[in-house]
Structure 1
Amino acid sequence: MPEMTFRVRWPDGAETECYSPSLVIQDHFTPGMTYLVPEFLKKADTALNEASERVRSRYGFPCSRALGQLQTIRQTCAQFKNSQDAQIRVLSFTL
């Protein structure tokens, strides 16, 4: 199963490499696009849970690394929950 990383820029300007065990992340995000924090979080939740389920169907167990990445994304997004216009930009995908 091909894994990939996707680089994001948070509203405070910090950049992070995020992990996905599947290319499914490409179905939910587009490099160069900017998303409001709630939209980004919803898409990340859907994509990383779907990726984890793909691992489960192939290997019999969910991907703890994808679920851990989702938890990290949730924690980071929580820092910006009081800013109505905070945006996250997806910078790139790397295989």
Structure 2
Amino acid sequence: MPEMRFTIRWPDGTREGCYSPSLVIKDYLTPGASYPLADFLAKSREALTIASARVEARYGFACSRALGQLARLEAAGRTYSTHPDARVAVESFDA
């Protein structure tokens, strides 16, 4: 199963390297695009949940790494949730 790494930039300028066990993330996020925080988190949640389900369908267990990535994104997202104009930029995909 092809994995995907991608880099994001949080509203404060902090960059973070992220992981998906599936290329499905390409269906939800676009390099160079900037998303409102809630939209970014919703797209990431859906994509990483699908990616984990694909791993489970193939190997018989959910992808803890994808679910861990999602948990980190959601935890970091809470940091910026009081900023109504907060946006997250997707800087790159690295296969």
TM-score range, shorter chain: over 0.9
Give the match's secondary structure for 2:83: coil
Residue 56 of structure 2 corresponds to which residue in structure 1?
56
Residue 89 of structure 2 corresponds to which residue in structure 1?
89
Give the match's secondary structure for 1:91: strand
- Residue 64 of structure 1 deviates from its aligned partner by 0.2
- Residue 26 of structure 1 deviates from its aligned partner by 0.1
TM-score (norm 2): 0.99
Give the match's secondary structure for 1:62: coil
TM-score (norm 1): 0.99
Give the distance between the partners of 1:41 and 1:29, measured in 2 at CA: 11
- Residue 31 of structure 1 deviates from its aligned partner by 0.3
Give the distance between the partners of 1:32 and 1:94, measured in 2 at CA: 13
- Residue 44 of structure 1 deviates from its aligned partner by 0.4
Structure 1 runs (4+) greater than 3 angstroms displaced: none
Residue 29 of structure 1 corresponds to which residue in structure 2?
29
Give the match's secondary structure for 2:43: helix
Q: Please tell me the residue identity of whatever aligns with 2:55.
A: V
How many equivalent residue pairs?
95
Sequence identity of aligned pairs in percent?
52
Q: Please tell me the residue identity of whatever aligns with 2:73.
A: I
Residue 20 of structure 1 corresponds to which residue in structure 2?
20
Give the distance between the partners of 1:39 and 1:61, measured in 2 at CA: 28
Q: Please tell me the residue identity of whatever aligns with 1:7.
A: T
